[in-house]
Amino acid sequence: MKPESINQPPKAKAATAPAVHLQTIGPEEAGQRLDNYLLRWAKGVPKSHVYRIIRSGEVRVNKKRAEPTTRLIEGDIVRLPPVRLAEPAQMAAVNSAQTKSRARGYSDKMPILYEDDALLIVNKPTGLAVHGGSGIALGVIETLRITRPELKFLELVHRLDRDTSGVLLLAKKRSALVEMHRQIREGQTDKRYFLLAHGEIVQGSGVMQLKFPLHKYLLPNGERRVRVDPNGLPSHTALRVSQVLKREDVAITLAEAQLKTGRTHQIRVHLQKLGHSILGDDKYGFEDQDKVIKSKRLYLHAHLAGFTHPRTGEKMRIESPLPEEFMAMMKGFEPAPENH
């Protein structure tokens, strides 16, 4: 399933010239980063421009320069410079009947795993980005805002790669978002993934602790990549082998990865470094081996999220079963003997 891009219509002439605005941060906006606040406010403005006006000092918080990572608190006064926001014609195109129809189609393939007045937790399908951008008109967040217009506030608690499926948390209240981000920051959440990897991973006794430091960089075309680098950020994945499967001279391994840190592409790069890339990984995988076993997708699935409910304090454990594509792939192999 590939979200489609939409052609942007010509910009309509603005009725009034853009002007400086002073916005007072209320309780529902408090706690978020300045860059995230601006990206929501500046609909239709390129992300690069939003960061440029922050760094140039055109955006001020309480009359002072601020960083993109500055956390806003209730009562802060944010100076918003003159910026040409999306015109009505553009917004109408985004909310066209065709786009709404496509959003309903995506929504139908995204079952709700849990919902209350604070949280919305969905089972994200593979191939659907969590948010739009770079030619993608609709991601999870846009889809849900279109299909659930009664939700006045809806934000992603965390992200999943476009081709990763599984448990995805969204907050319906700013206070819930702030509390969930605190839990993630302080390592109080439990995020586990099922994966299928190339080859036989020999675990030995106990759980494998992968602690390869990771460094983010950009390819010449601007695409983001990550590599293991001694000077990179510390990262930690706990890997448990569930089953080794074999077919003639080909082996694959079903394993569970538990995130101890949440770096970009962390599990994928850790498995690559281990020499057992995830099946169907077009960035860090083995293309020739994927062709041999006919990988149909990235075989990485977020199957469990454990956390404390931001409103009730209840211990939560949300699970998503192993996808059908995993089961279909595994059926083509035989379990390896325990003592092979």
List the catalytic residues: 161
151: tokens are 């939700």
Could you give the C-alpha distances from 268 to 166, 291, 322, 329, 330, in angstroms and in order?
A: 16, 18, 18, 19, 20
28 neighbors 174 (Cβ within 8 angstroms): yes
Separation of alpha carbons 202 and 214, rounded Å: 23
Strand-by-strand arrangement of the 77-80 sheet? 21-24, 77-80, 60-61, 64-65
158: tokens are 């965390």
284 neighbors 195 (Cβ within 8 angstroms): no
224 neighbors 218 (Cβ within 8 angstroms): yes
Cross-strand partners of 65: 60
Could you give the C-alpha distances from 130 to 141, 167, 296, 300, 334, in angstroms and in order?
A: 6, 12, 20, 15, 35
Enumerate the H helices of 47-173 as residue ranges: 47-55, 88-94, 97-108, 140-147
Separation of alpha carbons 317 and 307, rounded Å: 7
Task: Phi first, then psi: give them for residue 201, nearest 5 degrees.
Answer: -85, 120
Separation of alpha carbons 154 and 150, rounded Å: 10
**Of 326, 329, 324, 305, nearest to 193 (Cα)?**
305
Q: Give, for 102, the enclosing helix (H) or strand (E).
A: helix 97-108
Task: Phi first, then psi: give them for residue 306, nearest 5 degrees.
Answer: -115, 135
